[in-house]
Amino acid sequence: MTDIPEVGQLAPNFSAKDHNGNTVSLKDKSDRWLVLYFYPKDNTPGCTTEAKDFTQYTAHFQELGADIIGVSPDLEKSHCKFIDKHNLLIQLLSDPEHKVIESYGAWRLKKFMGKEYMGVVRSTFLISPDGKIAQVWDKVRVKGHVEKVLTELQKLVS
């Protein structure tokens, strides 16, 4: 299990397929800010709300020079259905082997109704154009989260 990258550290490089089967890596985003968020599963209530919230604010993030990428263990086909069903405007990466998720420390022991299991801990990383972690949100609560990320980005860009 990998530690969570800290503010100021270089962001772990990654490479994964998006919902269209295209390979996306951190180096592809080297000239822009990147909001990289990890979520457990497509089409579940919290994950749907988070994705729709990011979609709602996509234009604001783009105006500030930021792209948004969501990562989950779901397969590309699931991501396509998720995007179509909710008219999402964000890029989703498929990470069924948890390589990207683990490199950001988001694959951890979780507890639910007295049972322990390994899973994705909802978390978000703001990565600067020079590839460094600018901000980390761990164990994210969905309500109001996207607004917090946008506010932090506005501070950093201005």
110 — phi, psi (to 5°)? -125, 160
From the DSSP assignment, how many helices (H) and strands (E) are in the chain? Answer: 5, 9
* Alpha-carbon gap, residue 134 to 34, rounded angstroms: 10
Strand ranges inside the chain, DSSP E:
15-18, 23-25, 33-38, 66-72, 91-94, 107-112, 115-120, 123-127, 133-137
Catalytic residues: 47
> Please, is 113 exposed, middle or buried when counting C-beta atoms within 10 Å of its C-beta (0-12, 13-18, 19+)?
exposed
Tokens of 12: 């772990």
